Structures are given as structure tokens and as C-alpha cells.
């Protein structure tokens, strides 16, 4: 559904996007991650037909963003990383304007506006001026605007930036709901834990170049990231004794004691973890919690990128 | 040029009135549904901006102020006239007061609002959101103009009772009132179009402030000129007495034609500025340029006929033609030589099509060709007219008075004029091509280069001449061969062509030919561009859309045996 091939965009000596190629299958959620200035926004703007690449092309549903932008626009909803509203326009009028701009007419338009307001939870604020909305509500409005013509592809640039935790969770739920409805979503975010939960695949970008693309496991494999899992064991007492007991056991390394909690890295799989828990309990330790922590997208990101900026 | 995307539409749900509803209720319901359907077809920007304007304090303030001034002037006028208002000739003065009150919102507020409306969209980045909808740049400009027109009509309707009042007074007639209203509306619309074009230029970071200054000064100047012209017409030039003069209407029609032609060009230029980079931004502008010039040719012919072959007309026509095509050529030669695939999909296919319409497609070489073709065609047209005149004796009166210069003078003037345009545009094109290898450049630089070239051509001989006191006294010499203005003026101003004419006829066309030949390879490269096929996905979608638009009729039996 989304296909980028050899995309380049240079601003003078700065290579904002440098030979980026990847594809996103229909109904998949693709996480686009990278440090600030990596070229995420530039490539998303090219996908949204706001900018032209110097070289290469991007296809949305088989249509080129360079040569058929009008066809791409009907299939794509773009949520930029900035929030803009019109003065003296309320929520309903704002969405109605964009629905008209997408050539929705009659009751199709009225239903589209109502549907979007209900989905984003803005129906209760339908008559509120858009410039009086909170940031979270403006983000919802921006998502609603991108959805009003029911596009098959959504490009969301930092949708959760600057939101409070509650608004962020609500937005994440909305994006999940959209994914369940079969939308193809390309999303960029700095909150990697959230992206890892939502995305089928991720692309890691640095200095305009795509360093890695695939599922988190695929990237781990390709970049030789050892699949290790962190474990935190909280006991009633005797944390030091537990640490001593664990020292030298197979697959256990990097032991740390913090209060009643012992943290360590475990090289085994889930079954090994279950066996370890059993022997700890059998050894007489009063285990309060046993929490394995998977290798996260953050770990992969830190391993793949080098923190370079241009 | 581009395929219009499919319109997603559904008929407005028919909410039938209850069966016991009366005839009026049913009619009202049908009328309401019709209004809803019509509202659906309105430009989205017009709808949004009307909603915004009705809530905006700026609009309410201007409207209230307009009403206040109109009422104030009514009270003041009647008070000053006293009982004489009933029989005295006070209509003219009262009307002019209302005209001034109306001209300020129409010529200042409306165009400046249009400017701010588009400039603010760009500053606040709402334009980015707008540009990725299904709306075309043409619809965006049309919407902004529609919004300006709506504001105008509201201001006009606010003052209309006052204008009706002046009609009841002595000293003013209906035609004068309508004449003023017509021109102030046309002026307001033209200024709004110009303001929108200026707003598109506010995107250029280096000159961001200039369009705002231009819009403010332009709006003030428009109001001042409008009021001044109105006053002169009403109080100095006899007002409605002019309406019986044929020449008056000819001049008005000519001005209106020019306004319409330039309005179309400015609107299309604004559309081109907003269009996506891979779009064809040139063809429509080039068609307008040619249409504009055809209209101008028509009017010059009318003037020549009315003036009974006044000899200055062909020269005036040739000078304006030269300036027109030179200015347009300077813009066109600044275009990028690379055609996008989107443009290539629509290139003419047949040999005849390519011969006739390649000049209208984007590209500096094609633009150079169009400018030269336009200029040569104009000169030939004028030459044919002069030969015919010589044969038929149309301008006998002029020749009797010894004012008609021989055709040979016009031929020399034409050859030199064309050669200068060929040479200057060609040198500019060569320079642009060289600069483009180092850095991306646009139309602005092309125009600047032409200005510099002409300044250089005129200035250098003058500097040389001024540094030599002997040469200074000699007047025109071959030193001034690079100065097109001085050379062409010398051709027309003397009873006989200057003695340097034979040398000029070798040097100037020779230089033009060399420059033309140097540009020929790039021109040929542009002519070799051929149409490319639509991508498979585009062709598939077009076929689906075509099938939806024109469904194949089902089987319809034509006779009893078809069953």
C-alpha cells in the first residue's frame, strides 16, 4: 500500500532523506523512528504530497506522489506535527469544511463529520471554537480531519507529541482501533514503547538513511542484538542472600540489588524463566514478584543508531 | 490537463413532507432541499470564509462604519442643502459622497482582506492542509475571489438605499449611478485578484515583507485613483454627457477588455504559484498571453479604423507588441527545461499537434519560440495591414498631410525590433542555462537578467560616449548598436532612416541569428519531447471511473425476435 523507492531529498549540503526504500503492506502499522532531524518529517511530507523528492518516488496504492498527487490525496490522510485551526470556526464547521474540500456532498458529508466526531470524542465539543480547544483536543481534531474522507492510508507525524499521559493513551487506543479497521498506518513517534505495542514493523532512520527495517525481532537478528531478557525479582527479605544464591547459575549475569529487589539479565527463554522461578521458590525465598522484561524497541534503537546528527 | 478525481456524492435524503401537508408546505420543503443542494455545490472556501466573516469583528466593524458614514453623509447632505434638496441639483454631490464612502471598503478593505486571507493561510500553515485535499489551486483562488465578491455585494447592499435616495434627487441619472457601481466593482475584483497574486508571493522568504507593503500601498493607491477618476469624470469631464459619445464607449470597452485579460492572467499566475511542482503551470498562462494579445490586436485595429489610418498607430502597436512579448519571453525563458512525467503524459502526439501546440507547453526553449512567433506574427500582420492600406488607400488623408512614413521604414523598424528581442532573450536564455548548472534558479532571476542586459546594452555605450567629448556631440552612432531604445527611436523620429541603417541591418539581425543558432540545440531538445503512456495503475483507475460515469446500457430488445 505504501512503497518508497530510492527516495532522496537534500537541502543544500544536508541530506534530509538519503536513498530511503521500504514498503508497508495493506492494513499494517509501520513505526517510523529516529532522532530529531533524522528525516522522518521530510519523508512523511513527501508522502503527503507537500514536498517533492529530488530523486526516487513513493507510491500510495500504486499512485506516484510525484506524478499523481491528486489521486494520492484522495487515499491518504495526513496528520502533521503541528496543530493549526481557523479563527471563528467551531469543531463541526472545521470538519465540514475539510469534508467539502474532499468533495463529500449531501448526507455523506454530514455522516462523515458525525462519524469522525464520535470516533475522536469531539461530538460533545461540536460547537466549541477550534482555537479554544486544548492541545489534546486539537490533536484529536487533527486526526479527525485526516480521517474525514475515510482514507485507506494514514500518515501520522508525532501524533502524541506534547500530550499528557491520559491523552496519549486515548490517542493510542484510537490508532489501534484504526489499525483494527484495516487502515494502513505510517506513524512516527519518540515514545518507542508505545510504537512497539502498536506497530507490525518499524523503520529506524538516522541522518536521512534507513538503518534498519522489519519487525523488532528481525532487526535484532540482522543487527546481532543478543536476545537477552532482564528479570526483576522482589522478595520479602534476604535480597542479598538471593543474589549470592543466583551468582554463578547458568544464564544469569549482571546482578544488582536494590532494596528487596534483585535485578539481573537472563539468557534463557520463557520456559527457562519459569524453571528459575520454581527453583527460587523451592529454595525457600519469599518471592513477592517475578517480572521478566523483554528486549525493547528502545534497546534495538540504541543499538542500531549512533546518535549522529547533521 | 489532469484527470479530475471522482466526486463522492449522495443525493440529499428526501424527507417527504407529511401527506396532510399543504401545497405551500410542500413547495417550501422542495425549495429548502433545492437550497441545500445548491449550498452543496458552493466552493468550500466561500462557505468557510462566509461563516468566519459573519463571526469576525473586522467585518462587523467595517460594515458598521460604512453604515455610520453613509447615514452621516445623508444627514449632513440634507442639512446643508436645506429645503433646496427637493428642487436643487444636489444629486451629483450627494452621490459622489456615497461613492467615496463605498470606494474605501471596496478598493481597500476587500482586496486587503483577500490578501491577508491567503497570506495568513500560508503563515499559519493551514494552506498545507488545504493543499492536500481534493481542492485544486484554481478552486482555492476562485473561493477566495468568491469570498471577496460576497463581501463587495454586502457593502454594496448596505449603501444601496442611499444610492436609491440620490436617484430621487436632481442632478444625477440612473446610468451614471450604474456606471460608477460597475467600475468600482470591476476595480475591486481586479484589485482582489492582484492582492491574491501578491499573497502567493509572500511564500518567498527573501521578499516576504514586500508583498505586504505592496498590498497596503496598492490598495491605498487604488482607492485614491478610483476616487480621483470618479471626481474628474463627474465634475470635470461632463459626467453623463459623455454617454452620448461613441468614442467614450469604445475607450470603456477597450479598458474593460484589458482589465478582463489581465484579471485572467493574474488569477492564472496565482493558480500557477499555488500548483504542485510537477503540474503544468505554464500552458494556460501562455494561452492567456496569446488571447490577450489577440484582443489587443483587435482593439488596435479598431483604433486604426476610427483614426482613419493615423500613421502612429502601427508603430505604437509594434512597440507595445515588442514590449509585451519581450516581458512574457523574459518570464517564459526562466522556466525549468525538465518536463515532469505528469506533463509529458499530455504532450501532443501528432506531428501537426506538436508543431502547433508544443510552444504552449512548459520549457524555456518553447517559451523563447512562442515569444518570437508572437512577435513575428504581429509584425507580419501589421505589414499586411499597411500594404493593404497602401493598395486600397485607406489612409489617404494621412498621406495627404505627409504624415505616413513609407512601408520600408516600418519593415526596417520591424526587423530591428524583432532582432533585438531575439538577441536579448536568447542571451538571457544562454546565461540561465549556464547558471542552472551551478544552482537552481527561477523566473525572478530570468527577469532580473533581462533588466540587467538591457541596462548594460543601453548604459555601456552611454558611458563610453560620455567619457569622450567628441563622440558626445555626434549624436547617434554605431556605438549605440546595443541600445535598442535609442536605435528604434532614431528609426521612427527622423523623416528618413539614419545613415547607419545598412550597417545596423547587418549587425543587429546578424547578432540575433548567432544567438538564435546557439539556442537552437536546446530548443530542438525540447521539441523532441514526446508523450509517454499513463502508468498502468492510472489507466486502470481511469477505466473504472469512465465505466462509472458512462455505464454500458443493458441489453435492449430491438424487435420481437431479440428475446
Q: Is B60 helix (H, G, I), strand (E, B) or coil?
A: helix
Q: Which strand (E) or helix (H) includes residue A154? A: strand A153-157
| Chain segment A179-222, per-residue pLDDT in tens | 888 889 999 887 776 777 778 888 888 888 888 888 777 776 67
Give chain B's domain count: 2
Residue with cell 534476604: A238
- In 3-state terms, what secondary structure has residue A90? strand
Task: Report ipTM (2 d.p.).
Answer: 0.78
CA proximity to A81, closest of A45, A53, A57, A107: A45
Q: Bigger pLDDT: B558 or B113? A: B113
Bridge partners, B439 (sequence order): none
Q: pTM for this structure?
A: 0.81
- Written as nine digits, the cell of B435 is 547558471
Residue B308 confidence (pLDDT): 67
**Subunit contact A78:B5, Cβ cutoff 8 A:** no
Q: Check CB contact under 8 Å for B132 and A78.
A: yes
Residue-range definition of the domain harbouring residue B203: 26-232
Strands A153-157, A184-188: pairing kind: parallel
B257 HSE (CA, 13 A, CB side): 16
Among B232, B254, B273, identify where a domain stops: B232
Closest C-alpha among A43, A11, A29 to residue A210 = A43
pLDDT tens digits, one per residue of B485-534: 888 888 877 777 778 888 888 899 999 999 999 999 888 888 888 888 88
User: What is residue B472's predicted lDDT score, i.e. its pLDDT?
Assistant: 54
Return the pLDDT at B84: 76
pLDDT at A127 over 60: yes
- Check B9 against A106: CB less than 8 A apart: yes
Q: Which of B135, B128, B130, B129 has the alpha carbon at shortest distance from B4?
A: B135
pLDDT tens for A274-295 read: 888 898 999 888 999 988 776 6
Q: Are B509 and B484 in contact (CB under 8 A)?
A: no
Q: Are residues B214 and B316 in the same domain?
A: no
CA separation for the pair B127, B270 (Å, rounded) = 14
**DSSP 8-state assignment for residue B33:** H
Closest A-chain CA to B344: A67
Provide CATH 3.30.70.100 ranges for chain A.
229-294
Give alpha helix (H) positions in B90-208.
91-104, 110-123, 126-131, 137-168, 174-201
pLDDT at residue B53, as a whole number: 84
Domain A2-214: what homologous superfamily?
Answer: P-loop containing nucleotide triphosphate hydrolases (3.40.50.300)
Quote the pLDDT of residue B563. 52
Give the CB-side neighbour count of residue B125, counting CA atoms within 13 A.
7
CATH code: domain A229-294 is 3.30.70.100
As a whole number of angstroms, the distance between CA B405 and CA B418 comes to: 19
The region of weakest confidence among B101-105, B178-182, B524-528 is: B524-528
Co-location of B224 and B322 in the same domain? no
Q: What is the DSSP string of A198-251?
A: H-SEEEEEETTEEEEEE-HHHHHHHTT----EEEEEEESS-HHHHHHHHTT-TT
Contacts of B191 (CB under 8 A, 6+ apart): B107, B110, B111, B218, B219, B222
- Find out whether B218 and B198 touch, Cβ atoms under 8 Å: yes
- Assess if residue B479 is contained within a domain: yes
Summarize pLDDT for B48-60 with one digit per residue, the tens.
988 888 888 888 8
Q: State the smallest CA–CA distance between residue A34 and chain B in angstroms.
A: 24
pLDDT in tens, B319-351: 888 888 999 998 888 888 888 888 888 888 887
The verdict on residue B5 lying in a domain is: no
pLDDT surpassing 60 at residue B14: no
**Rounded to an integer, what distance in angstroms lies between the CA atom of residue A186 and that of residue A183?**
10
Q: Distance of CA A142 to CAs A78, A100, A179, Å?
A: 9, 16, 17
Of B8, B55, B129, the CB nearest to A145: B129
Interchain CB contacts (distance < 8 Å): A and B: 121
> Among the three residues B199, B232, B265, which one is the final residue of a domain in this structure?
B232
Q: Is residue B290 part of a domain?
A: no
Domain ranges in chain A with CATH number 3.40.50.300: 2-214
Higher pLDDT, B560 or B493: B493
pLDDT in tens, B268-316: 999 998 898 888 888 999 999 889 888 888 888 887 777 766 667 777 8
3-state secondary structure of A87: coil
Which sign, positive or negative, has the C-alpha torsion A268, A271, A277, A278? negative
Q: Label residue B209 by pLDDT band (50, 70, 90).
A: confident
Confidence class for position A106, pLDDT limits 50, 70, 90? confident
Q: Search chain A and give the residue with CA nearest B143.
A: A101
Distance of residue A232 Cα from the nearest chain B Cα, in angstroms? 48
Amino acid at each position: 500500500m505504501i512503497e518508497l523507492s530510492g527516495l532522496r531529498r537534500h537541502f543544500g549540503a544536508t541530506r534530509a532523506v538519503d536513498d530511503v526504500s521500504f514498503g508497508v503492506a495493506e492494513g499494517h502499522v509501520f513505526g517510523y523512528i529516529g532522532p530529531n532531524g533524522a528525516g522522518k518529517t521530510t519523508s512523511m511530507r513527501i508522502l503527503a504530497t507537500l514536498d517533492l523528492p529530488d530523486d526516487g518516488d513513493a507510491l500510495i496504492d500504486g499512485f506516484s506522489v510525484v506524478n499523481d498527487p491528486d489521486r494520492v490525496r484522495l487515499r491518504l490522510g495526513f496528520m502533521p506535527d503541528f496543530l493549526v485551526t481557523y479563527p471563528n470556526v467551531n469543531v463541526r464547521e472545521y470538519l465540514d469544511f475539510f469534508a467539502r474540500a474532499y468533495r463529500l456532498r449531501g448526507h455523506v458529508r454530514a455522516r462523515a463529520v458525525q462519524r469522525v466526531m464520535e470516533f475522536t470524542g469531539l461530538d460533545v465539543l461540536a460547537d466549541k471554537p477550534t482555537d479554544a480547544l486544548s492541545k489534546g483536543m486539537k490533536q484529536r481534531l487533527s486526526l479527525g480531519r485526516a480521517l474525514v474522507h475515510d482514507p485507506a492510508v494514514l500518515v501520522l507525524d508525532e501524533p502524541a507529541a506534547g500530550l499528557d499521559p491520559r491523552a496519549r493513551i486515548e490517542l493510542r487506543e484510537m490508532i489501534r482501533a484504526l489499525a483494527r479497521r484495516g487502515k494502513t498506518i505510517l506513524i512516527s513517534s519518540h515514545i518507542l514503547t508505545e510504537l512497539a505495542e502498536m506497530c507490525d514493523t518499524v523503520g529506524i532512520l538516522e541522518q536521512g538513511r534507513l538503518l534498519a527495517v522489519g519487525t523488532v525481532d528481525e532487526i535484532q537478528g540482522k543487527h546481532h542484538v543478543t536476545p537477552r531478557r532482564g528479570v526483576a525479582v522482589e522478595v520479602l527479605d534476604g535480597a542479598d542472600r538471593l543474589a549470592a544464591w543466583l551468582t554463578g547459575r547458568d544464564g544469569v549475569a549482571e546482578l544488582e540489588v536494590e532494596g528487596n529487589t534483585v535485578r539481573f539479565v537472563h539468557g534463557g527463554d520463557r520456559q527457562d524463566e519459569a524453571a528459575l522461578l520454581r527453583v527460587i521458590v523451592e529454595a525457600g525465598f519469599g518471592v513477592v514478584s517475578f517480572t521478566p522484561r523483554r528486549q525493547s524497541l528502545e534497546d534495538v534503537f540504541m543499538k542500531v543508531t549512533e546518535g549522529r546528527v547533521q | 490537463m489532469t484527470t479530475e478525481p471522482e466526486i463522492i456524492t449522495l443525493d440529499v435524503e428526501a424527507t417527504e413532507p407529511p401527506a396532510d401537508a399543504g401545497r405551500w408546505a410542500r413547495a417550501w420543503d422542495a425549495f429548502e432541499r433545492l437550497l441545500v443542494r445548491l449550498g452543496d455545490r458552493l466552493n468550500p472556501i466561500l462557505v468557510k470564509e462566509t461563516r468566519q466573516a459573519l463571526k469576525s469583528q473586522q467585518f462587523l466593524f467595517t460594515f458598521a462604519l460604512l453604515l455610520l458614514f453613509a447615514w452621516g453623509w445623508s444627514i449632513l447632505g440634507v442639512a446643508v442643502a436645506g429645503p433646496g434638496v427637493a428642487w436643487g441639483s444636489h444629486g451629483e454631490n450627494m452621490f459622489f459622497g456615497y461613492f467615496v464612502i463605498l470606494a474605501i471598503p471596496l478598493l481597500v478593505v476587500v482586496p486587503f482582506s483577500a490578501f491577508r486571507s491567503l497570506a495568513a493561510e500560508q503563515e499559519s500553515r493551514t494552506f498545507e492542509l488545504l493543499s492536500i485535499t481534493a481542492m485544486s489551486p484554481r478552486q482555492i483562488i476562485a473561493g477566495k475571489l468568491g469570498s471577496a465578491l460576497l463581501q463587495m455585494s454586502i457593502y454594496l447592499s448596505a449603501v444601496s438605499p442611499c444610492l436609491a435616495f440620490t436617484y430621487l434627487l436632481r442632478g444625477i441619472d440612473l446610468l451614471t449611478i450604474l456606471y460608477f457601481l460597475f467600475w468600482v466593482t470591476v476595480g475591486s475584483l481586479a484589485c482582489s485578484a492582484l492582492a491574491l497574486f501578491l499573497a502567493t508571493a509572500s511564500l518567498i522568504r527573501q521578499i516576504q515583507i514586500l508583498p505586504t507593503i505592496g498590498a497596503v500601498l496598492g490598495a491605498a493607491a487604488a482607492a485614491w485613483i478610483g476616487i480621483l477618476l470618479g471626481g474628474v469624470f463627474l465634475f470635470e469631464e461632463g459626467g453623463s454627457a459623455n454617454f452620448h459619445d461613441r468614442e467614450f464607449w469604445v475607450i470603456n470597452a477597450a479598458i474593460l477588455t484589458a482589465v478582463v485579460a489581465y484579471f485572467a492572467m493574474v488569477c492564472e499566475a496565482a493558480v500557477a504559484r499555488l500548483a504542485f511542482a510537477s503540474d503544468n503551470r505554464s500552458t494556460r498562462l501562455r494561452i492567456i498571453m496569446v488571447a490577450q494579445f489577440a484582443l489587443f490586436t483587435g482593439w488596435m485595429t479598431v483604433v486604426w479604423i476610427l483614426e482613419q489610418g493615423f500613421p502612429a498607430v502601427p508603430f505604437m502597436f509594434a512597440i507595445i507588441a515588442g514590449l509585451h512579448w519581450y516581458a512574457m519571453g523574459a518570464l517564459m525563458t526562466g522556466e525549468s527545461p525538465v518536463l515532469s512525467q505528469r506533463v509529458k503524459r499530455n504532450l501532443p502526439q501528432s506531428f501537426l499537434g506538436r508543431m502547433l501546440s508544443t510552444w504552449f507547453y512548459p520549457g524555456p526553449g518553447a517559451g523563447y519560440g512562442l515569444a518570437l512567433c508572437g512577435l513575428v506574427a504581429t509584425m507580419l500582420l501589421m505589414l499586411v495591414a499597411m500594404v493593404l492600406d497602401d493598395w486600397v488607400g485607406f489612409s489617404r488623408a494621412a498621406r495627404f498631410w505627409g504624415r505616413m512614413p513609407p512601408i520600408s521604414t516600418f519593415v526596417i523598424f520591424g526587423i530591428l525590433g524583432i532582432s533585438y528581442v531575439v538577441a536579448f532573450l536568447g542571451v538571457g536564455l544562454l546565461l540561465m542555462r549556464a547558471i542552472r548548472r551551478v544552482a537552481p534558479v527561477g523566473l525572478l532571476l530570468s527577469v532580473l537578467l533581462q533588466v540587467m542586459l538591457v541596462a548594460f546594452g543601453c548604459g555601456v555605450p552611454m558611458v563610453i560616449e560620455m567619457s569622450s567629448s567628441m563622440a558626445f556631440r555626434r549624436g547617434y552612432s554605431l556605438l549605440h548598436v546595443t541600445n535598442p531604445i535609442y536605435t528604434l527611436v532614431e528609426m521612427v523620429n527622423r523623416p528618413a532612416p539614419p545613415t547607419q541603417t545598412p550597417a545596423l541591418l547587418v549587425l543587429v539581425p546578424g547578432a540575433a541569428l548567432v544567438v538564435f543558432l546557439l539556442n537552437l540545440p536546446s530548443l530542438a531538445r525540447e521539441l523532441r519531447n514526446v508523450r509517454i503512456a499513463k502508468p498502468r495503475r492510472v489507466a486502470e483507475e481511469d477505466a473504472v471511473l469512465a465505466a462509472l460515469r458512462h455505464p454500458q446500457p443493458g441489453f435492449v430488445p430491438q424487435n420481437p425476435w431479440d428475446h
